[in-house]
């Protein structure tokens, strides 16, 4: 429709769209789709400006340029508009006319007739489409930028000239204020870099799995092999109201929780979380600090000075190696103070998954645990530290959730 009046011109010299957008970032309705990754995943960045039509679908309300529309629906209007404004793009660029916007998940869900039990926590329109007269398109791989005007809001040639002038003035002002090295210099809203921010801050994305592993994961989803598993819970009173937290793996009290805490504090130093965990485990294991605890398991009251307690529905970081997440039971290991030589053998048995055979370990299997006291002991649920609010009521919900699992 706009082919005869449309003008497309390459901008020379090349300037990245991210720098150009600083000119138009305060322009009403301007949009910026930034392809920040300059690799095979990122090709074009697009700026949309000079909006002439904005369609908003918000619940039962449909507005056109801010005015409520009651004679037709959002879908019917869109269908009619696209039929009467058909346009063909033979430029090789990804977009030369049309809209930038979004369709929310809620919009798609309603179109499919799928209900939702979730509350609306934020007020966001279900769909917004803004049609633009002008576009600025950067080919990030070829290092070229193009100016596009369809001549809807103003003469296309005049609009192209106005954009060139604004970009040229902005660039010249930045050069005068910038340093000879091409470093960033700011003055008000102006920032120009002879070496674009992309050259300075290169971002590389590397997958942590192979292509075949990705395909296998997709196959698992398609095959839809499901397994119901247990979910553990921990009830406590925080001084104001009763709270409940959930876990899939384990609750640690004492040494185990302190290891988690130190791991979180040192993982930036060591760089690798497993290495941080191992170093924290070794350093604290030899400390052998004890905590005065009072537990109730299967009707038995357990009192004394205890080093660590693990209550797990699953492996529990090796402390409850016999636990499985689908039998409706919790495995518990209570570890008392070991002698120094017992400590070394205990660490080795922990790494081998045989810690329950150690002399200072008392194993239990139950469905409920009550922690009445654990003086000065840290508590964590699946690696998340919990404020000390005793007593704790810990239990298990059998087959509470369904997961898609590998073949």
Lowest pLDDT segment from 64-73, 222-231, 367-376, 395-404? 222-231
Confidence band of 265 (pLDDT split at 50, 70, 90): low
Rounded Cα gap, residues 381 and 232, in angstroms: 10
Rounded Cα gap, residues 335 and 363, in angstroms: 9
Confidence band of 275 (pLDDT split at 50, 70, 90): low
Rounded Cα gap, residues 94 and 42, in angstroms: 13
Rounded Cα gap, residues 38 and 19, in angstroms: 15
Mean pLDDT, the chain, rounded, equals 84
The residue-averaged pLDDT of 316-342 equals: 87
Tell me the three state secondary structure of residue 88: coil
Percent of the chain at pLDDT exceeding 90: 54
In angstroms, the Cα distances linking 116 to 56, 60, 119 are 22, 17, 8
Region for residue 270 given its phi and psi (left: phi exceeds 0; alpha: psi -120 to 50; beta: otherwise): alpha
The residue-averaged pLDDT of 161-189 equals: 69
The residue-averaged pLDDT of 179-184 equals: 48
The domains located in the chain, with CATH, are: 7-200 (3.60.120.10), 227-404 (2.60.200.40)
pLDDT in tens, 54-82: 999 998 999 999 999 999 999 999 999 99
Most confident of 48-57, 176-185, 250-259: 48-57
Which neighbouring-strand residues pair with 366?
A: 330
Tell me the three state secondary structure of residue 273: helix
In angstroms, the Cα distances linking 98 to 72, 82, 103, 171, 181 are 21, 9, 15, 29, 40
pLDDT in tens, 348-368: 777 777 888 888 899 999 999
pLDDT of residue 302: 96
pLDDT of residue 259: 76
pLDDT of residue 191: 42
The residue-averaged pLDDT of 239-253 equals: 93
pLDDT in tens, 109-146: 888 887 776 677 778 899 999 999 999 999 998 999 99
Rounded Cα gap, residues 282 and 288, in angstroms: 11
pLDDT in tens, 1-50: 566 689 999 999 999 999 999 999 999 999 999 987 777 777 899 999 99
Residue 372 has pLDDT above 80, yes or no: yes
Cβ contacts of 321 within 8 Å, gap of 6 or more: 315, 353, 354, 355, 356
The residue-averaged pLDDT of 147-166 equals: 95
Cβ contacts of 203 within 8 Å, gap of 6 or more: 36, 37
Rounded Cα gap, residues 107 and 119, in angstroms: 15
Closest CA to 247 of 404, 52, 79, 395: 395
Q: At what angle do helices 255-270 and 273-285 cross, to 10 degrees?
A: 130
Q: Which two tokens stand for residue 96?
A: 């030369």
pLDDT of residue 7: 95
In angstroms, the Cα distances linking 321 to 59, 64, 308, 333, 356 are 51, 62, 15, 10, 8
Cβ contacts of 82 within 8 Å, gap of 6 or more: none
Q: What are phi and psi of 365, to 5 degrees?
A: -135, 125
Q: Is 118 exposed, middle or buried (0-12, 13-18, 19+ CB in 10 A)?
A: exposed
Residue 186 has pLDDT above 50, yes or no: no
Which neighbouring-strand residues pair with 332?
A: 311, 364
Lowest pLDDT segment from 156-160, 194-198, 200-204? 194-198
Spacing of C-alpha 248 from chain mean position: 20
pLDDT of residue 181: 45
């Amino acid at each position: 429709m706009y082919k005869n009046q449309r003008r497309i011109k390459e901008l020379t010299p090349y300037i990245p769209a991210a720098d150009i957008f600083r000119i138009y970032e305060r322009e009403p309705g301007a949009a910026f789709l930034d392809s920040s990754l300059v690799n095979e995943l990122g090709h074009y960045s697009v700026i949309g400006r000079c909006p002439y039509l904005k369609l908003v679908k918000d619940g039962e309300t449909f507005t056109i340029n801010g005015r409520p529309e009651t004679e037709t629906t959002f879908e019917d209007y869109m269908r009619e508009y696209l039929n009467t404004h058909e346009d063909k793009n033979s430029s090789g660029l990804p977009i030369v006319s049309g809209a930038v916007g979004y369709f929310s998940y809620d919009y798609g869900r309603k179109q499919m007739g799928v209900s939702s039990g979730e509350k609306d926590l934020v007020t966001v329109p279900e769909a917004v489409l803004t049609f633009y007269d002008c576009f600025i398109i950067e080919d990030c791989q070829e290092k070229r930028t193009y100016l596009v005007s369809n001549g809807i809001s103003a003469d296309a040639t005049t609009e192209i000239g106005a954009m060139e002038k604004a970009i040229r003035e902005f660039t010249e002002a930045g050069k005068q204020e910038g340093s000879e090295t091409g470093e960033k210099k700011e003055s008000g809203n102006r920032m120009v870099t002879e070496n674009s921010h992309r050259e300075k801050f290169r971002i590389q994305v590397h997958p942590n799995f192979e292509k075949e592993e990705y395909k296998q994961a997709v196959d698992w989803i398609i095959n839809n092999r499901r397994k119901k598993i247990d979910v553990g819970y921990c009830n406590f009173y925080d001084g104001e109201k009763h709270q409940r937290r959930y876990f899939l793996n384990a609750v640690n009290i004492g040494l185990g929780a302190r290891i988690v805490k130190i791991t979180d504090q040192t993982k930036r130093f060591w760089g690798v979380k497993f290495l941080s965990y191992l170093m924290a485990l070794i350093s604290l294991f030899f400390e052998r600090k004890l905590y005065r605890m009072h537990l109730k398991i299967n009707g038995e009251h357990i009192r004394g000075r205890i080093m660590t307690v693990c209550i797990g529905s699953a492996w529990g970081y090796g402390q409850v190696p016999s636990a499985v997440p689908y039998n409706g039971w919790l495995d518990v290991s209570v570890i008392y103070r070991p002698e120094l030589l017992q400590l070394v053998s205990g660490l080795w048995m922990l790494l081998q998954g045989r810690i329950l055979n150690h002399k200072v370990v008392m194993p239990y299997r139950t469905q409920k645990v009550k922690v009445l006291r654990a003086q000065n002991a840290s508590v964590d649920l699946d690696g998340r530290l919990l404020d000390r609010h005793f007593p704790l009521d810990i239990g298990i919900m059998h087959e509470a959730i369904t997961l898609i699992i590998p073949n």
